[in-house]
Amino acid sequence: MFGAALKRLQNRWKSYRHRFVPWVVLNLSKNEKTLRQVSERSEDKLVPDEEVSRSLLRLFGVLLRSQVAPHAELRAHQTRLLGQETSEEAPRGGVSVCADEHDVMLRSLGFCLDRKPSSLPLAGTGVFVTKGRVPKGTTVAMYPGTVYQFYEPILLQSIRNPFVFRCIDGVLIDGNDRGLSKMVFKSCSGRDRMGPFMMSDSSWLTSRPQNPLAVGQYVNNCSYEAPANVCYQEYDVPDKFPVQLRQYLPNVNYSHDAQRPVRCVVLVSLRDIEAGEELLSNYYTIVH
């Protein structure tokens, strides 16, 4: 009986370690092919922030236009409120109404993602390209969650939580979609709004996020046998990001601070990725 319990514990750990940051750090020297070394935030950029913004604006714009019913009148009113800002910043184009978020993603970005059992042994859930093709240098996913500064309380939320991502500057993103982490995100998301506009998207906490990129917390770390095809890149949402499209951002600051930009972490493709492949990330380590 003890042996069976130990076996279950070992299997649980083997699944957990694929996202457990301390285990990754302690095993860096054993598997250097899984690492990408950076010395400061600017060096984590595989593509410019402007390119990340363009990709997000393109997808979010199509998502907004696809939600024509039953809220068409409200959307039109919101667009009129924004006036000139909308015409300059929001993406344009005659994209037709799409059936669902995955169809929107395929039409606007050329690929679809889905969560399925990972191809890595005992790694739990993974993220796969199910349709289309991802070119090199594409923003392929986002890491959702509550954003904590290094001095903000996250101890209780972090207990038995394999979804806490640490940025280069010590900022933490809690991408857990259950328990206390879920409650904290929903509370912060409900707090931050600008008139009729939501400033973040909490649908990633469900099985069907309206922003189909918001599955990055389920992307597993690569292994020696299965090298990375995506990497993390930090992205602070610029002030000029259209207000009406912020409702699709899957991140929110733990403390309300209108002066602090929202930190997002995106995953960018290191090479062309074909349909059927699982997304596998490498974890960057800071060198001084």
How many angstroms separate the CA atoms of 67 and 61, rounded? 10
pLDDT, residue 59, reads 95
Asked whether the beta carbons of 63 and 248 are under 8 A apart, the reply is yes
CA 75 and chain centroid, separation: 25
Strand partners, 146: 174, 252
pLDDT, residue 5, reads 58
Domains of the chain: 33-81+97-287 (2.170.270.10)
CA 111 and chain centroid, separation: 16
What 3 state SS string does 35-61 have? Answer: EEEECCHHHHCCCCHHHHHHHHHHHHH
pLDDT, residue 26, reads 41
Strand partners, 283: 35
Which pTM does this prediction carry? 0.77
Report the amino acid identity of residue 90. A
The per-residue b/e assignment along 1-13, b for 16 or more CB within 10 angstroms, e otherwise, is: eeeeeeeeeeeee
How many angstroms separate the CA atoms of 66 and 62, rounded? 6
Provide the angle, in degrees to the nearest 10, between the axes of the packed helices 101-109 and 49-66.
Answer: 130
How many angstroms separate the CA atoms of 201 and 214, rounded? 9
DSSP string, 200-231: S--GGGSSS-SSTTTTGGGPEEP-SSS--SEE
pLDDT, residue 273, reads 98
User: CA dihedral defined by 216, 265, 40, 169, rounded to 10 degrees?
Assistant: -100
Q: Which of 214, 240, 235 is nearest to 85 (CA)?
A: 240
Pairing mode, strands 220-221 and 172-174: unpaired
Q: Residue 165: which H helix or E strand, with range?
A: strand 164-166
Query: How confident is the chain (288 residues) per 10-residue block, as mean pLDDT?
Result: 59 48 42 47 81 96 76 55 45 42 87 95 93 96 97 92 92 96 96 87 94 96 91 95 96 89 96 97 64
pLDDT, residue 49, reads 96
Q: Which of 271, 275, 273, 286 is nearest to 46 (CA)?
A: 271
pLDDT, residue 6, reads 57
pLDDT, residue 40, reads 59
Which residues are CB-neighbours of 30 under 8 A, at least 6 positions away? Answer: none
Asked whether the beta carbons of 277 and 237 are under 8 A apart, the reply is no
